[in-house]
Structure 1
Amino acid sequence: MATRSRCPRPLSLPCCCLLLLALGSPGFFQSHAVEVDVKDLSNNTCIYAKWMMSFLIKYETNSSEYKNATLKPSTNVTHDGSTCGNNTHAPLLAIQFGAGHSWSINFTKTNETYQGNIISFTYNTNDAAFKDAKTKGPITIVVNDTMHPVQLNTVYKCHHLDSIEVANVSLFFWNVILQAFVQNGTVSKHDSTCEADKSTVAPTTIANLTTTVANLTTAPITTASSPMPTTTSKPVEKPLIGNYSLKDGDKTCLLATMGLQLNVSQEPVLININPKTTNVSGSCGNTSAILRLSDSNRTFIDFTFAVKNTSANTQRFYLKEVNFTLIRSINGSEPFNAGNNNLSIWDTFLGSSYMCQKEQTVLVTEDLQIHTFDLRIQPFKVQDNKYAKAEDCSPDVDNFIVPITVGAALGGLVALVLVAYFVSHKKHSNAGYQQF
């Protein structure tokens, strides 16, 4: 085993570690792949890796609200600390990027296999991406990697997009090519393909997608008659209605019931969120609350609620922000992100619940619309794990008012016709008596 060594800055070719950056494979977004070739003192490769990654981080602001920040390595990546390891230190793959962010993974092996062991990620909220963050400075999370053992002297490959969630951070990885414990300084020509790639065949059906998913990078989906995403045909079936809740200690602090259907411009069909495969997380506060729904580690939706004071000296809550991430498992495309922090919907009195049984559409961006069905939500002041009295949404109220108004108008019209008829009939009768 080579002894531990480190490279001075700036990088140079004779150095023990080389960090190369290359553009990633084409997709809807052009992104950068990180390529690292870790070498020992003899300039022999001991770890080789090339992959794409991004991070979605939820943080608290000074106003006790919660926002999301997205980070991804770009061309200013460095590699300090990457090492081949020795008898006392495990091999380590480490990178640094942006304004004080870093990520690393170490490796262990047996007589036949190797695997990633522990991932460490540090993000710095002094970065401009964390605008108005309540806590400033570096924050580190550590997680045991879930990578399965890989045969020694083989290259691990996985185009499938995968994610790891810990604390307030979601880590996304795709297009991974990796070999640790490289023998004789030469990267192997033998592959170990991840199970997710083995189980993916084209055409394929993913989650609740009910139609064939095309190869989006080589055969873009276009139609002459309906080029706009808003004209995409919906599945015949409505989404399943899910019941979601959050707890603060042993008390329920948020209740939500709804069916969710996503209209993503980059997807060929609408996506139904399946409550049976959806994980619930988030946070409750006095003036801000977040409900996060994660469906099969493929879709992530954050609903942010806030409290406002009205001119009548009363408090109301409303949906203020929606953030969305879609992980694509086709051709290693970069995750699709969309968000809107300037909403003002689902508005009702604090201490009440908001209800709308009819379909509603939340316009997040031009590329994302969320359709809700049988919605009921209460993000604050939940008592005894039950919804408070509900305030119906205006479309439902209007649906009752319109028939009543139309009925009243028709009734009035009939009454006028009858009055006119009797008046006219009476005049004709009087005229007949005078002639006699």
Structure 2
Amino acid sequence: MAPRSTSRPDLCAVLFLFVLGHQTLAQIVNLEVKDGNSTCIKAELSAQIAVVYSVTNGTRTASMPLPASTTVGSDSSCGGSSGTPWLMASFGDGHSLSLGFSSNGSLYRVENITVVYNLSDTSNFPASSSKDRVTVMTAHTGILARMNTTYKCESNSTVILSGGGVNVSFSNMRIEAYMLGSEFSVNETVCTADQTATTTSVPKTSAVTTPPTPTVPGTPEQGKYNVTNSNGSVCLLAYMGLQLNITLSSSQNKTVQEIINLQPNLTKSTGLCEVNSSTLFLTSDRTNLTFFFSLNVTKYHLSGISVRAILPDMKDPFATSNVSLDYLRGTLGRSYMCNAEQTLLVDKSFSLNTFHVQVQPFRVNGGQFENAEDCHLDEDNMLIPIIVGAALAGLVLIVLIAYLIGRKRSHAGYQTI
């Protein structure tokens, strides 16, 4: 396999990918993996792959929907005792979309998604500066179902693959692995997005349960996270307390609210550092949280957040992302600091509360933070005592002047005529 291209797009390009990924996908393809006469994987879905690739004077975006001519690739497999089920959808000039499955006996999931694209295909990648065959993948998909049920999701859902330069958008999806027969099961596991859509269309005459007020777990502990380069040097530093605030409908007339403190001692930090973009992955048993930072000449900011969380009241993991954010703005060569609590709104179902934040996503020297730039909230908190102090000083001055004037008039009454 040819080596992967080392250049990665900035987050402006990823935002364009995210918009592309939410367009309506009209073409539905049918795929089936067999072992002899037995079917083990069946899929009916629309999918569109968006790729940012390099050209001589910058980057471009290729958008590749799965065509009607898509076939089941030769690497597809039912797994058996020595492997896991694998569905490869092959199309075009050397392109493929693959889904790898796993099961714990009661549930099955799409464990990873792999995309292979051929940059020498000039019809999809005109003027590409590389002719490599590139492979990218992600280990977090949010596609999870009970055994012997069909996973169904008509809503659009977008999965951002590792590195941020590729995404896959699915819609009108029905898929089942570890099948007992050759047809989809009549029992279905419906995705969270479809459940939410159903809940919002409940007639006005239906009784709606008021969501219980979630128990707030208190201020989260400040975690100390970092990302290292291939040479072992620290390239990103982040000290912060994090609190996930999730609100969504789990089934008709029921709303789930979860406030989760990220526990630093149970959280692993990894990531990627590039010239104009940095990524921080925070992984624990229940949550996967990703931060995307972008650099524009001398200014950087948090431009994207992606989250996947396992909630006790939900049969499917909660997942959402937004790569058009503008938080935690700082200057290259300095760190950003904010001790005040901030709420970073990602979308209507998810926000992130941050406490005691100090981050430096670019140009870290010696594994230490550079001088910090304080956030406006901290500046406002400092301004209040200054104003109060100035007001008190002004009041003392007024009283003193009034006293001196009064005393002078009093002395004037005893002057000799």
TM-score (ref. length: structure 1): 0.57
Counterpart Cα distance in 2 of 1:304 and 1:239 = 22
SS of 1:340's partner is: coil
How many residues align structurally? 343
Counterpart Cα distance in 2 of 1:106 and 1:366 = 31
Do residues 372 (structure 1) and 354 (structure 2) align?
yes
Which residue of structure 1 aligns with residue 192 of structure 2? Answer: none
Do residues 78 (structure 1) and 70 (structure 2) align?
yes
Which stretch has the larger CA shift, 321-330 or 387-396?
321-330
**Structure 1 residues without counterparts, runs of 5 or longer:** 1-29, 108-115, 145-154, 192-196, 198-214, 309-315
Pairwise CA distance, 1:255: 0.9
Listed one character per residue, the Cα deviations across residues 70-110 of structure 1 (whole Å, up to 9, x for unaligned) are 99987858334369989xxx997432479975234699xxx
Identity %: 28
Pairwise CA distance, 1:400: 2.3
Pairwise CA distance, 1:258: 0.7
TM-score (ref. length: structure 2): 0.59
CA contact (8 A) 1:82 1:92 kept: no
Which residue of structure 2 aligns with residue 407 of structure 1? Answer: 389
Listed one character per residue, the Cα deviations across residues 4-50 of structure 1 (whole Å, up to 9, x for unaligned) are xxxxxxxxxxxxxxxxxxxxxxxxxx999976445699xx5443424
CA contact (8 A) 1:58 1:66 kept: no
CA contact (8 A) 1:288 1:304 kept: yes
Do residues 178 (structure 1) and 170 (structure 2) align?
no
Do residues 284 (structure 1) and 273 (structure 2) align?
yes
Counterpart Cα distance in 2 of 1:77 and 1:331 = 34
Pairwise CA distance, 1:156: 5.6
Counterpart Cα distance in 2 of 1:392 and 1:429 = 53
Listed one character per residue, the Cα deviations across residues 312-358 of structure 1 (whole Å, up to 9, x for unaligned) are xxxx34215113243566354784332215x264213x322221111
Counterpart Cα distance in 2 of 1:105 and 1:285 = 28
Which residue of structure 1 aligns with residue 238 of structure 2? Answer: 256
Counterpart Cα distance in 1 of 2:359 and 2:348 = 25
Pairwise CA distance, 1:220: 6.8
SS of 1:268's partner is: strand
SS of 2:370's partner is: coil
Which residue of structure 2 aligns with residue 427 of structure 1? Answer: 409
Counterpart Cα distance in 2 of 1:128 and 1:414 = 79
Which residue of structure 2 aligns with residue 340 of structure 1? Answer: 324
Pairing 1:203-242 to 2, within 5 Å after superposition: 235-242=216-223
Do residues 243 (structure 1) and 224 (structure 2) align?
yes
CA contact (8 A) 1:156 1:176 kept: no
Do residues 306 (structure 1) and 295 (structure 2) align?
yes
Q: Equivalent of 1:394, from 370, 376, 383?
A: 376
SS of 2:340's partner is: coil
Counterpart Cα distance in 1 of 2:241 and 2:57 = 29
Counterpart Cα distance in 1 of 2:396 and 2:72 = 86
Which residue of structure 2 aligns with residue 47 of structure 1? Answer: 40
Larger radius of gyration: 1
Counterpart Cα distance in 2 of 1:255 and 1:135 = 33
Which residue of structure 1 aligns with residue 96 of structure 2? Answer: 102
Pairwise CA distance, 1:372: 1.5
CA contact (8 A) 1:301 1:324 kept: yes
CA contact (8 A) 1:105 1:118 kept: yes
Which residue of structure 1 aligns with residue 7 of structure 2? Answer: none
Cα 1:351–1:261 shift into 2, 3 Å: same
Which stretch has the larger CA shift, 421-430 or 369-378?
421-430
Cα 1:120–1:285 shift into 2, 3 Å: closer
CA contact (8 A) 1:232 1:269 kept: no
Pairwise CA distance, 1:237: 0.7
